Amino acid sequence: MEKLRQYAWVLPIACAGAAVGIYYLVKGARPPVPKPRPPRPEVATIVIESRAVNDPWYRYHGLAVDKDLPPAWWKDERYIIGCSRGYFEYKRRIRLTPGRHKIVYSVSASGSYYWEATIRIPELGISKTFPRVQRYTHTYAVLEFEV
């Protein structure tokens, strides 16, 4: 009882679990440490806005999340997110676990035709503009970030 009087002032009586805390103080043991929960994935929105700079034709738009677009992605409907002329806007909600991530966006334009694209993730405050996006791998819009 003496230990209880000695340490009871440490824990406020009104707080939840105070009796458990006092029990461990009296017994002289440490309370068990709760197991850490696995990280919960973050939900974020990918926003892509692009406009044709000098391209009058309809073009496919492609997207890959956490992987690369294949060289001829416009022939594979798994990567196509739309088809437009002049302007394109796309929004998609995704789950992001902690770690590094990559968003790859492209337009099927080639030659002297190209598009300007902006990729944003508003929840994370990330935004990047790519001035010349085409279908060639070295002209993809690639946004890399960490959560």
Q: What is the mean pLDDT of each run of 10 residues along the chain (147 residues)?
A: 48 48 56 70 91 96 96 96 98 92 97 96 95 95 94
Question: How large is the greatest C-alpha to C-alpha distance in the chain, in angstroms?
Answer: 86
Amino acid at the residue 86: G
Predicted TM-score (pTM) of the model is: 0.72
Residues 96, 94: Cα–Cα separation, whole Å: 6
**How many residues does the structure list for the chain?**
147
- Residue 39: predicted pLDDT: 59
Question: What are 91's two structure tokens?
Answer: 């929004």
CA neighbor of 110 nearest in space, from 145, 146, 85, 135: 135
Q: Where are the alpha helices (DSSP H) in 50-133?
A: none
Q: How far is CA 78 from CA 63, 64, 108, in A?
A: 9, 9, 15
- Residue 5: predicted pLDDT: 46
